[in-house]
Homo-oligomer: A and B are copies of this chain.
Amino acid sequence: MDAQTGTSTHAQRALITLRQRILSGQLPGGTRLFEVALAEELAISRTPIRAALSQLAEETLLERAKGGGFVVRSFKLADVVDTIDLRGVLEGTAARYAAERGADAALLERAHVVLRGIDAVVSDQSIDMDAYSALNSEFHLLLAHMSGSDILQREIARVTALPFASPSAFLDDHTRIDTLQKTLGAAQDQHRAIIDAIEHRESGRAESLAREHARAARRNVEYLLSHEAALREGVASLALLSN
């Protein structure tokens, strides 16, 4: 019905609208969301609004307030760093499991295909960031899958859902091409090393490498944040930060 969003129900559209507003910082952390106000603004009834709010709470973007109601979750700078580190810990565990238990051959093969794809993108003169982002995301997805643990995979997906903890966060903020190429090249080296460790069943090495790989993303954030407004401006992934 709704060609714009591709969804049919009011609740779905409200969910998408509100999520976008939270992620963009338009609804800052700590903001309380009132059902009636939202219902009037979106021109629908309270019922689909409540459904949307519930789902946003599942995504951890909202928290239930005491005595009912929802409040936009607020993220401090330390939370961003901790979440990225947490992703490193979880992906490290995934890599370790893959090495210990043995990764599925088809997944490993696909990983090599993805790695070659990233090579092609990075070596190109003008880097296609969308293509890189897609391939990078798939690599991290494959890594989680290789763990062979549904529980772990699910948990990684949860943490990764936060925009600043996504493997492909902070990719669109590199102004100079040479710096970007160097950064992506280093990340790619780590990708290769992780797969190599998994294939050689070196679980400790695999875990350490995956952790360190996330650490690079953390360094990137810390660099962005140390330069305050100048760089932080226009970094979409950080729009929902509190301070």
Which A residues form the contact surface with B (CB < 8 A)? 50-51, 54-55, 57-58, 76, 78-79, 82-83, 86, 89-90, 93, 149-152, 155, 159
Number of copies: 2
Docked Cα-Cα span, A57 to B57, in Å, equals 10
Apart from A50-B51, A82-B149: 16 A-B pairs, beta carbons within 8 A? A54-B54, A54-B55, A54-B58, A58-B58, A78-B149, A78-B150, A79-B150, A82-B150, A82-B152, A83-B151, A86-B93, A89-B89, A89-B90, A89-B93, A155-B155, A155-B159
Interface SS, A side: helix
A82 shortest CB reach to chain B, Å = 4
Residue of B nearest to A68 (CB): B9
Residues of B within 8 A of A152 (CB): 82, 86
Name which residue of chain B comes closest to A84, CB basis: B151
